[in-house]
């Protein structure tokens, strides 16, 4: 259906009937009319300040990627015959992300104002008066959120860093005072943090983009109102959740997706009482219910339409953006709909909850535009204020772990066994983000640049504690007796000033609906001073191919690992002789010459030796390096003379590598096998 075809649908009875019929096809819902679509006190035609605020825009894109023109609108009362009026009427503005104040009288939103290059946070009264700009300058600001202490949280690309997947400007969490002063970055991720909202207990929940090499997902994280103590709360490896909002009963309603950067799909209710579904050992129906099961999770075509932005209205009623079936994304037409949630079961282990929709009803659509992110214009209770933690007078934070041996197998990594696997230290690794305009020819694989901050001891009970610079994205890996990464923490952590992060009870230990599995309740590391890794960034150790590995390869490897040629005579028909040149592959079919070559995936030019060693497997007969995982890398087996090469000893044998060179190879793989 193209835009012109959609224009034939006028707002009113026929449109409502056709849309309700399409909605019924989604999940066999009964269309019960508009009275079930909103609280009773806003259905009546009496004078009321209750209504909806929403965005009307020409664009289809959301997720902080749209610059399409649009404005804020208000619908009062919440009914198909309610009156729609503009709150803003800018020509050439791009508006998104409304957030209603706790008293229902003000609205924060993100806008690139006409004639401005930056997108900033603005505020306007619910009556359309009192427009003011909150933030100014410095990158692009999105996703504003009123905090209960009167300050504002938002996401921004002010740091100037590019995300580690598609190298677009990345947004992290920021806070500021109500007047826009005191802007402070409070989360530090190598990709994006976005869509923050408040849970009833005061915690902030948001979607986090986790791209750790080929590890690409969008789980839900919790943090404090100051951004402290981030924690992965919900999200298995094979599901993404967008636009999370709390439900009155403490659950979360969101949009489920299996796509990168695709925030449309079915509506899901996440049952936190059943556990976090992290990371992969989940029971779909046990951990969350997909409320519109016929809607696909893998992007267009949308055979049964698609949903975005579910928000609570109260009394079990919700509003959502929904499009009728569409073959392509540019054919969608999102309008506003309401629905009601019902529950069977008590939500306990003995009586698990099953949540479903029992009514989906058309509310409003302008066929020329898309309507997004509708929210209730009414007073609501503010969650409790969370006191700021930490100490701004220091520039470090502390991270601790109770037992590196306490972990599960669900992420596909090895499980070290206490008493068998000697783990006496871990490597702490900093992420090195790129900036706008910087060339990205530093890697032939999915991993960004990173550097070794230093090592911290793991005590015999499996515990550790270290002090790191605040505001630096970091990760860590436990090391085996050969210095190879045993288990790599596949997420970016950060410390805030003076904050001692909660001690993890294990590394990826199973997390279910019951209490955490604590194998070491009194970690020895907490009785000791944390290892101090707060030195300057200039002291970090970055190992790349160009400067550190290439000289070793050229001196000790390339003389053997290259193609060779042999001439032979052969008799052709007619008695004529001709010389034929045979190509003899490099040993192990591993060409380590410096001949320029082109990667198969990113079409970047690197020396052939780097491509064949980097983990860019599309151009090699077999992948000899798995970046970040030295214990899985054939190259490290041969360098150290273990695993596949145990019977041969360290390689090369004619001109052996020094212990320092072996460590350099090992760390190069652990740090992501970068070129420069």
- Reported as a single tens digit per residue, the pLDDT across 161-179 is 999 988 899 999 999 999 9
Answer yes or no: is pLDDT of 634 > 50.
yes
Higher-pLDDT residue of 563, 39: 563
| Least-confidence region, from 164-168, 224-228, 503-507 | 503-507
- Check residue 133 and give its pLDDT: 98
Alpha-carbon span 22 to 306, nearest angstrom: 11
Alpha-carbon span 305 to 649, nearest angstrom: 60
Tens of pLDDT, residues 507-541: 755 555 556 678 999 999 999 999 999 999 999 99
pLDDT category of residue 385 using cuts at 50, 70 and 90: very high
Answer yes or no: is pLDDT of 658 > 90.
yes
- Check residue 31 and give its pLDDT: 34
- Check residue 509 and give its pLDDT: 56
Work out the average pLDDT over 203-207: 97
The answer to whether residues 102 and 150 touch, using CB atoms and an 8 Å cutoff, is no
Alpha-carbon span 639 to 660, nearest angstrom: 12
Q: 4: which DSSP letter?
A: H
Work out the percent of the chain whose per-residue pLDDT is above 70: 88
Q: What is the pTM of this model?
A: 0.90
Q: Which sign, positive or negative, has the C-alpha torsion 74, 76, 78, 83?
A: negative
Q: Which sign, positive or negative, has the C-alpha torsion 291, 297, 299, 300?
A: negative
- Cα 416–chain centre separation: 28
Tens of pLDDT, residues 444-484: 988 999 999 999 999 999 999 999 999 999 999 999 999 99
Alpha-carbon span 57 to 370, nearest angstrom: 5
Work out the average pLDDT over 173-195: 97
Tens of pLDDT, residues 134-170: 999 888 999 999 999 999 999 999 999 999 988 899 9
Higher-pLDDT residue of 213, 327: 327
Alpha-carbon span 28 to 43, nearest angstrom: 25
The answer to whether residues 72 and 81 touch, using CB atoms and an 8 Å cutoff, is no
Alpha-carbon span 171 to 672, nearest angstrom: 23
The token pair at 122 is: 């603005």
pLDDT category of residue 398 using cuts at 50, 70 and 90: very high
The token pair at 490 is: 């596949």
The token pair at 177 is: 């005072």
Tens of pLDDT, residues 268-307: 999 988 888 776 555 678 889 999 999 999 999 999 999 9
The answer to whether residues 283 and 297 touch, using CB atoms and an 8 Å cutoff, is no
- Check residue 12 and give its pLDDT: 33
Tens of pLDDT, residues 413-443: 889 999 999 999 999 999 999 998 888 889 9
Strands (E), 177-301: 184-185, 193-198, 204-208, 210-212, 215-217, 220-223, 231-234, 240-246, 252-257, 267-270, 288-290
| Number of separate helices (H) and strands (E) present in the chain | 8, 39
- Check residue 40 and give its pLDDT: 41
The token pair at 630 is: 């030295």
- Cα 173–chain centre separation: 13
Work out the average pLDDT over 621-633: 91
Higher-pLDDT residue of 517, 235: 235
Answer yes or no: is pLDDT of 6 > 80.
no
CATH of domain 3-377: 2.120.10.30
The answer to whether residues 135 and 112 touch, using CB atoms and an 8 Å cutoff, is no
Tens of pLDDT, residues 60-109: 989 887 889 999 999 999 999 999 999 999 999 999 999 999 999 999 99
Work out the average pLDDT over 546-558: 97
Q: How many CA atoms lie within 13 A of 543 on its CB side?
A: 25
Backbone angles phi, psi at 157, to 5 degrees: -100, 20
pLDDT category of residue 38 using cuts at 50, 70 and 90: very low
- Check residue 286 and give its pLDDT: 84
The token pair at 586 is: 């490099």
Q: What is the CA radius of gyration of the chain?
A: 28
Q: 632: which DSSP letter?
A: G
Alpha-carbon span 154 to 174, nearest angstrom: 5
Q: How many CA atoms lie within 13 A of 363 on its CB side?
A: 34
- Cα 625–chain centre separation: 26
Reduced to 3 states, what is the DSSP secondary structure of residue 532? strand
Alpha-carbon span 461 to 157, nearest angstrom: 41
- Check residue 310 and give its pLDDT: 98
Q: Is the peptide bond before 301 cis (omega within 30 degrees of 0)?
A: yes
The token pair at 139 is: 């990158």
Q: How many CA atoms lie within 13 A of 258 on its CB side?
A: 7
pLDDT category of residue 567 using cuts at 50, 70 and 90: low
- Check residue 11 and give its pLDDT: 32
The answer to whether residues 148 and 202 touch, using CB atoms and an 8 Å cutoff, is yes
- Check residue 512 and give its pLDDT: 55
Answer yes or no: is pLDDT of 576 > 80.
no
Tens of pLDDT, residues 603-621: 889 999 999 999 875 556 6
Alpha-carbon span 21 to 317, nearest angstrom: 20
Domain boundaries, given as residue ranges, for the chain = 3-377, 390-541, 545-670
| Least-confidence region, from 4-18, 361-375, 465-479 | 4-18
For tokens 């001709």, name the residue.
Answer: 578
- Check residue 574 and give its pLDDT: 60
Alpha-carbon span 218 to 238, nearest angstrom: 9
Work out the percent of the chain whose per-residue pLDDT is above 90: 70
The answer to whether residues 560 and 587 touch, using CB atoms and an 8 Å cutoff, is yes
Alpha-carbon span 449 to 589, nearest angstrom: 28
- Check residue 565 and give its pLDDT: 81
Total Cβ atoms within 10 A of residue 105: 14
Whole-number average pLDDT of the chain = 88
In terms of Cα–Cα distance, which of 541, 533, 566 is closest to 660?
Answer: 541
């Amino acid at each position: 259906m193209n835009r012109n075809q959609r224009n034939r649908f006028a707002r009113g009875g026929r449109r409502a009937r056709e849309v309700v019929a399409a909605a019924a096809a989604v999940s066999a819902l009964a269309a019960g009319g508009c009275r079930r679509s909103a609280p009773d006190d806003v259905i009546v035609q009496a004078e009321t300040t209750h209504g909806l605020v929403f965005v009307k825009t020409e664009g289809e894109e959301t997720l902080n990627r749209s610059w399409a023109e649009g404005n804020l609108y208000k619908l009062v009362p919440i009914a198909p015959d309610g009156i729609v009026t503009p709150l803003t009427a800018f020509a050439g503005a791009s508006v998104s992300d409304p957030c209603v104040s706790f008293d229902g009288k003000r609205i924060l939103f993100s806008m690139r104002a006409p004639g401005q290059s930056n997108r900033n946070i603005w505020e306007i009264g619910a009556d359309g008066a009192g427009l003011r700009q909150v933030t100014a300058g410095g990158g692009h600001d999105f996703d504003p959120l009123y905090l209960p202490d009167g300050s504002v949280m938002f996401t921004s690309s002010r740091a100037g860093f590019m995300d580690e997947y598609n190298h677009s400007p990345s947004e992290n969490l920021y806070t500021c005072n109500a007047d826009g002063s005191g802007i402070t970055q409070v989360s530090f991720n190598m990709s994006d943090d976005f869509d923050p909202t408040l849970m009833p207990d005061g915690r902030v929940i948001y979607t986090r983009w986790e791209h750790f090499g080929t590890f690409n997902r969008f789980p839900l994280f919790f943090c404090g109102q100051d951004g402290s103590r981030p924690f992965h709360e919900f999200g298995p490896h094979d599901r993404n959740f967008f636009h999370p909002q709390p439900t009155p009963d403490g659950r979360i309603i969101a949009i489920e997706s299996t796509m990168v950067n695709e925030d449309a799909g079915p509506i899901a209710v996440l049952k936190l009482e059943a556990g976090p579904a992290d990371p992969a050992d989940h029971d779909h129906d046990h951990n969350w219910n997909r409320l519109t099961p016929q809607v696909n999770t893998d992007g267009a075509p949308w055979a049964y339409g698609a949903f975005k932005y579910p928000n609570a209205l109260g009394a079990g009623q919700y509003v959502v953006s929904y499009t009728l079936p569409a073959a392509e994304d540019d054919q969608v037409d999102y309008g506003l709909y309401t629905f009601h949630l019902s529950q069977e079961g008590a939500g306990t282990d003995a009586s698990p909850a099953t949540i479903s929709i029992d009514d989906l009803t058309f509310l409003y659509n302008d066929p020329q535009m898309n309507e997004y992110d509708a929210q209730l214009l009414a007073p609501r209770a503010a969650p409790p204020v969370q006191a700021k933690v930490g100490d701004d007078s220091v520039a470090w934070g502390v991270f601790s772990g109770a037992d590196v041996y306490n972990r599960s197998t669900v992420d596909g990594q090895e499980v070290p066994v206490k008493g068998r696997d000697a783990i006496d230290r871990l490597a702490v690794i900093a992420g090195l983000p790129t900036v706008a305009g910087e060339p990205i020819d530093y890697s032939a694989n999915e991993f960004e640049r990173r550097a070794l901050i230093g090592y911290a001891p793991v005590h015999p009970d499996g515990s550790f504690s270290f002090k790191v610079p605040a505001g630096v994205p970091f990760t860590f890996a436990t090391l085996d007796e050969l210095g190879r990464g045993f288990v790599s923490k596949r997420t970016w952590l950060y410390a805030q000033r003076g904050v001692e992060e909660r001690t993890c009870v294990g590394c990826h230990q199973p997390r279910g609906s019951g209490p955490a599995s604590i194998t070491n309740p009194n970690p020895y590391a907490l009785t000791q001073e944390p290892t101090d890794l707060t030195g300057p960034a200039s002291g970090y150790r970055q190992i790349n191919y160009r400067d550190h590995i290439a000289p070793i390869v050229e001196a000790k490897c390339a003389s053997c690992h290259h193609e060779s040629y042999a001439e032979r005579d052969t008799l052709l028909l007619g008695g004529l002789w001709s010389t034929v040149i045979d190509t003899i592959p490099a040993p192990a079919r591993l060409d380590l010459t410096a001949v320029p070559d082109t990667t198969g995936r990113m079409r970047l030019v690197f020396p052939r030796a780097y491509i064949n060693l980097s983990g860019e497997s599309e151009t090699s007969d077999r992948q000899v390096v798995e970046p970040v995982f030295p214990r899985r890398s054939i190259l490290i087996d041969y360098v150290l003379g273990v695993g596949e090469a145990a019977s041969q000893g360290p390689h090369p044998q004619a001109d052996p590598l020094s212990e320092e060179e072996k460590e350099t190879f090992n760390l190069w793989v652990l740090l992501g096998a970068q070129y420069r």
